Amino acid sequence: MPRYLGYTLGDESVPVPPPSPDLMQRMGEFVEEATKAGVLVMTGGIGPTAMGAKVTLADGEFSVVDGPFAEAKELIGGWALTECRDLDEAVEWTKRFLAVLGEGEARVRPVF
């Protein structure tokens, strides 16, 4: 079964309040439904760039720069790995996810 990575984008310059208890409950119900349907493989959030590092290989040498990464304009905020029949099904599950999360954007890409 093809796998798809769905992810949301974030902007570290815009403060995001913690999720409300109502949103956490609705998201938990959505995750449970997607898991029982056999679609959701794994999901998670990604911490701020200040907690990460950028690793580069150039001319055979590695360089490591600790975050934050001020040059980043769009960052992945959260992600979900799904197994769906095709992209259309992955898009439908993503629509349902956004309906729970609220207005915003999510992107879906196949995983090879």
Amino acid in the structure at residue 82: T
What is the sign, positive or negative, of the torsion defined by CA atoms of 106, 107, 108, 110? negative
Residue 4 pLDDT: 97
Q: Whole-angstrom Cα distance, residue 10 to residue 75?
A: 5
pTM of the model: 0.81
Q: Which of 9-13, 25-29, 50-54, 72-76 has the lowest mean pLDDT?
A: 72-76
**Range list of H helices, 37-106:** 87-101
Position of tokens 């990464």?
Answer: 69
Asked if residue 2 lies in contact with residue 83, where contact means CB atoms within 8 angstroms, the answer is yes
Output DSSP code: residue 39.
Answer: -
Residue 57 pLDDT: 93
Predicted confidence (pLDDT) per residue in 12-39, tens digit: 777 778 889 999 999 999 999 999 999 9
- Give CA separation, 11 vs 27, 38, 69, in Å: 21, 31, 12
Predicted confidence (pLDDT) per residue in 1-12, tens digit: 999 999 998 777
